[in-house]
Chains A and B, each alone.
Chain A
């Protein structure tokens, strides 16, 4: 508070006057654009197709390619099998509502959280120890982990990624690529089978092929064991 009345106004006006004669900093967008760093990719946004379905197939390619792992995925994977979540919940549109609810203090049921349920990591650590925490032996590590736990718990994949320094996207991509791995616990098996049966795996492909040829089971099964 100044003691001389009008002093504040005079000081304010002097700033205005000084600025008035300085060059303008306004950029006349869009006629003029400021340079964008060559590696800027803008805001990450997923697009929808004309049927309103997300065009992203949750294939994990981009997450795997991203050098600083800033991209992560939530959703159902390409083979329609798993509902996966990774990264902070707020990044997924489908979870945003939930997050808002949670901030309001009300409890929210989160089925995806089950996948992150903590597990006993001792068997996994023993496996990792045997393989020297070497990400080059990822496939063998995954096989043994599945043998130990009956399936591949998300918590195990997370730990595996952390301890071997293999990007999570790589671990997840490898685990879902090979058919012998399952991310759902065996209790879920009936459901997992039902999901898988929507797509022709080898046995159902052969059955469908025989049906399509009208030959019954002996046609394509020729020489089959």
Chain B
């Protein structure tokens, strides 16, 4: 069970409406609550191009981290050359500390299935896949049950609603590595190949699964599609930040009383989101928030007024990423934290390109030198240089974002970093810069 944080009653609940139902796979209950209304309207009223136009008017952008306009992606796929198209819902959720997609897939399986079906209808795909992290057994079971029941009831399957269009959805468990969350890697995994990103363009919407035009969308993106078509584009566009409207799911965790996930309108200030999770743990003081998962930026309290949105977060050196917001109090050392995150990113990098294979490793080594008191005078300059080079030469978004933790420390926590670099001291008492690592400490 995922803890759902209480949000103000004025905030819309689109994705989390119906969370906590006794049986989320109960089709009748789901239909009574509005499931498949969007699909019916898309088929009966709007047609494929109308559905894409409606989505464009709603302003929906991808919730997988990149924030790409969903309508543009669908349009590109619908326009691309090819007789066969596919839709792939990305339910891999690579960040091991985040459970947003799992929560949605477990609690609202029909919303995900309906989103996939609408996407398949709009772009003209017959076979669609929901790729779920294999460890998410319950989510897989519920999605499979939902697909089977929806097909038995005729919501999806052959000749949907008499439209003459077949929409088949299947659930595909995938497992193996962090990078499978990246869309081109996910497609490789579905094809049974070694998971390494591909140069884009061509985007998957032109050449995706088995070389066919493919829409890859986050399950959270697709989870909102049914609501948008069933209600209206304007209703959705009116929510949150006009640049990227709607609601999104975030997870607040770390040194906080009530960790959990919450549905927030885009553009909500970080402070408000953190406050949803209650007090800081036993009276500690907030020191930093890590926004975006392992590749997230580490932001100081004064940046908590940043609105939660793609552009605003990128501006301050973080990103939406996995939707995770980790709270750290003064017990944590930002250098240690950033090094740990960078190390993880380096270990998980696929190894295809030099910035990913060697660049991230060297970056993690700089962090490790600082944390262990072996820093060199040139390290801050090297860190800035190397990060800029990695960002400039990266093949996929992973290595670009993996520079966030250390560069944000360089940007916001310079005094604490300097203590490590110049005096071999750790103000938080976490690192062991004199090189003595007592048993049982993590580095």
| Residues of chain A whose beta carbon lies under 8 Å from any beta carbon of chain B | 57, 59, 61, 78-79, 136-140, 170, 173-174, 177-180, 199-200, 202, 205-209, 211-215, 218-225
Contacts and interface: CB of A to CB of B under 8 A. Distances in A.
Contacts of A200: 340, 343-344, 347
B329 A208 contact: no
The listed residue with most A CB atoms (<10 A of its CB), out of B103, B259, B261, is B259
B3 A223 contact: yes
Contacts of A221: 97
Contacts of B260: 222-223
Given A212-B340, A224-B99, A139 B189 contact: yes
Contacts of B103: 223
Contacts of A138: 192-193
Nearest to B441: A211
Given A140-B192, A200-B344, A220 B253 contact: yes
B351 interface: yes
Contacts of A215: 254-255, 281
B358 A57 contact: yes
Contacts of A208: 340, 442
A139 B189 CA distance: 8
Contacts of A179: 175-177
B210 to A, nearest CB: 9
> Which residue among B176, B192, B255, B340 has the maximum number of chain A CB atoms within 10 Å of its CB?
B192
B331 interface: yes
Query: Which of A79, A173, A220 gathers the greatest number of chain B CB atoms within 10 Å?
Result: A220
Contacts of A207: 442
Nearest to A207: B442
Given A180-B176, A223-B261, A213 B97 contact: no
A214 B261 contact: no
24 contacts: A57-B351, A57-B358, A140-B192, A174-B194, A177-B194, A179-B175, A179-B177, A180-B176, A199-B347, A205-B340, A207-B442, A208-B340, A209-B97, A212-B336, A212-B442, A213-B254, A215-B255, A218-B259, A222-B3, A222-B99, A222-B251, A222-B259, A222-B260, A223-B99
Nearest to A59: B351
A51 B112 CA distance: 52
A74 B164 CA distance: 57
B182 to A, nearest CB: 13
Nearest to A204: B442
A223 B176 contact: no
A23 to B, nearest CB: 48
A23 B11 CA distance: 92
Interface residues of B, number: 49
Nearest to B189: A139
Contacts of A139: 189, 192-193
Contacts of A220: 97, 253-254, 326
A213 B255 contact: yes
A189 B343 CA distance: 24
Interface of B: 1-3, 96-97, 99, 103, 138, 175-177, 189, 191-196, 251-256, 259-261, 281, 294, 326, 328-329, 331-333, 336-337, 340, 343-344, 347, 350-352, 357-358, 430, 441-442
A219 B195 contact: no
A136 B156 CA distance: 29
Given A200-B344, A215-B254, A218-B259, A59 B357 contact: yes
A78 B441 contact: no
A58 to B, nearest CB: 10
Contact of B259 (A174, A219, A225): A219
A56 B132 CA distance: 35
A221 to B, nearest CB: 8
B365 to A, nearest CB: 11
Nearest to A177: B194
A170 B195 CA distance: 11
Given A200-B344, A208-B442, A177 B195 contact: yes
B326 A213 contact: yes
A209 B340 contact: yes
Q: Which of B194, B255, B344 is packed against the most chain A CB atoms within 10 Å?
A: B194
A214 B193 contact: no
Given A59-B357, A219-B326, 15 more contacts: A78-B351, A136-B192, A138-B192, A139-B193, A177-B177, A179-B175, A205-B344, A212-B336, A212-B430, A213-B326, A213-B329, A214-B331, A219-B255, A220-B326, A224-B99
Given A212-B336, A213-B331, A213-B332, A79 B347 contact: yes
Contacts of A178: 175-177, 195
Q: Which 10 A-B pairs have the closest CB atoms?
A: A222-B259, A214-B331, A178-B176, A139-B192, A202-B96, A222-B253, A174-B194, A211-B442, A208-B442, A223-B2
Contacts of A61: 351-352, 357
A212 B329 CA distance: 10
Contacts of B1: 223
B340 A223 contact: no
Contacts of B255: 213-215, 219
Contact of A223 (B175, B189, B259, B336): B259
Nearest to B294: A205
Contacts of A57: 351, 357-358
B191 A223 contact: no
Nearest to B428: A214
A78 B357 contact: yes
Nearest to A143: B192
B253 A219 contact: yes
Nearest to B324: A220
A61 B197 CA distance: 13
A178 B188 CA distance: 12
